[in-house]
Amino acid sequence: MATDQQTAFSSLADLARDLHCKKFTSVELTGLYLDRIARLDGRLHAYVSVHAEAALLQARAADLQRQSGLPLPPLHGLPIALKDLCDIDGQVTTGGSQAWIDRTSTSTSTVAERLLAAGMIILGKTHMVEFAFGAWGTNPVMGTPRNPWDLTRHHRVPGGSSSGSGVAVAGGLAPAAIGSDTGGSVRVPAAFNGLTGLKTTSGRISLHGTIALSPSMDTIGPMTRTAEDAGLLLAAIAGPDLRDTSTLHHPLFRLAQQPAPSVQGLRIAVMRPDQYPWPVTPAVQAATDDAVRVLRTLGATVTDVTLPFDWADYMRKVGTLIAIEAFHQHAHHIGDDSLPIGPWVRQRTISGGTFDAHAYQALLAQRQQAIVQFDEWMQSYDLLLTPTLPFVACPLTEVNEEVTPLGAFNRAVNFVDACAITLPAGFSDDGLPIGVQLIARAWHESLLLQAGQAFQQATDWHRRRPDGLA
């Protein structure tokens, strides 16, 4: 086996090739990650539960299957982590809430079922913002995971709500993880942690057996080192599910087999800085400009554009819609002061109860109109490029829970029901990751993955890893 550290920070695709070539077994690989979790998660706080015994038994079974010589799925025998809103029958799923510390699942989510069917090894469940309602990644009751890109100066925010999933992959405690994205909750932690994060189209991946926040906008997505890995995971978990009717009667996702992914001839629109819904730091703008230059060099037609809609207004409407639907989901317990629920999540959720049915229906109608307008406008372009976040991960002490800058470029994507990918695109002067976001029309994840792979073949930002995690 290559050095443990090299292996721990390898992509799923590379691990699959090494497993096929018998450089290690699934038991050895799973043991490597479990050892790193035991040694390092006390500092990183990525996992809420670790399924060590079950994972090793799964890995042993995977090795026996491999000995049969029969063809196996591409991700067979590889470990993965799950955000703690994906049910597994008989196991606790907290949804990030201490109030649900004894909530034992009575069914298994489609996502977990399909990962297991693909032969993947579930290492455990990852911490998250309570009820998935927050972008900073904070959880004052169950603890906030630590961004692994700063282990010496500050406890920096991991981004949320899929905070533990981002930290687990960035810290080499899993090669990939599952997150959810209602207003940026895959893309925010992916960008803050130097990862690739895919926000899928609503209905692309079944939500059956996942704890809901805002059912009209909730999506599941992979958090990985590379766009190639995101495609492999999407192929494994996407598709129709009779238990979630939103997945029915849509185009199927098929993993493109491209030896040399290309952006040659793609039409990429770039949001002008004067339209940004939130000002960005010079480092973020420089990384965005560099990404534009790379894509132009690779043959894309890149054009600065003026968007005919208000990204900031969409951001605000998403916040309202999430609050309304979250209140409906949690109304029976959110006001119970005896329950250990974080004050900001409680406040945000209760605010959704101030809107009546008329306001909610009006908001849904406005969203439907925005979906149509965005889809029509995007007929002239293949992709839209924006920064992923306005700034790099800040210290926890600087978090202001009353404002939502982390949703500035992300939330609108959920409002218009598009799909998007964040890609590592640079670093700040103090060594913190920066991401760039590509957005496509609904059901065009394959285009995002194609562009992401081409970008990552021309750059090495996604290969960087934090110091101090040997």
Residues marked as catalytic: 83, 161, 185
Give the separation between CA 425 and CA 461, rounded to whole angstroms: 6
Task: Label residue 241 exposed, middle or buried (CB < 10 Å: 0-12, 13-18, 19+).
Answer: buried
Give the separation between CA 193 and CA 165, rounded to whole angstroms: 10
Coil/strand/helix, residue 37: helix
- DSSP string computed for 159-209: -SSSHHHHHHHHTTS-S-EEEE-SSSTTHHHHHHTT-EEEEPPTTSS--TT
Residues 422-457: b if buried by 16+ CB within 10 A, e if exposed: bbbbbbbeeebbbbbbbbbbbbbbbbbbbbbbbbbe
User: Which residue, 281, 292, 313, is CA-closest to 390?
Assistant: 281
Give the separation between CA 441 and CA 382, rounded to whole angstroms: 8
A 10 A CB-CB count for 62 gives 22
Contact 420, 437 (CB under 8 A): yes
Task: Label residue 175 exposed, middle or buried (CB < 10 Å: 0-12, 13-18, 19+).
Answer: buried
Task: Label residue 277 exposed, middle or buried (CB < 10 Å: 0-12, 13-18, 19+).
Answer: buried
DSSP state of 384: E
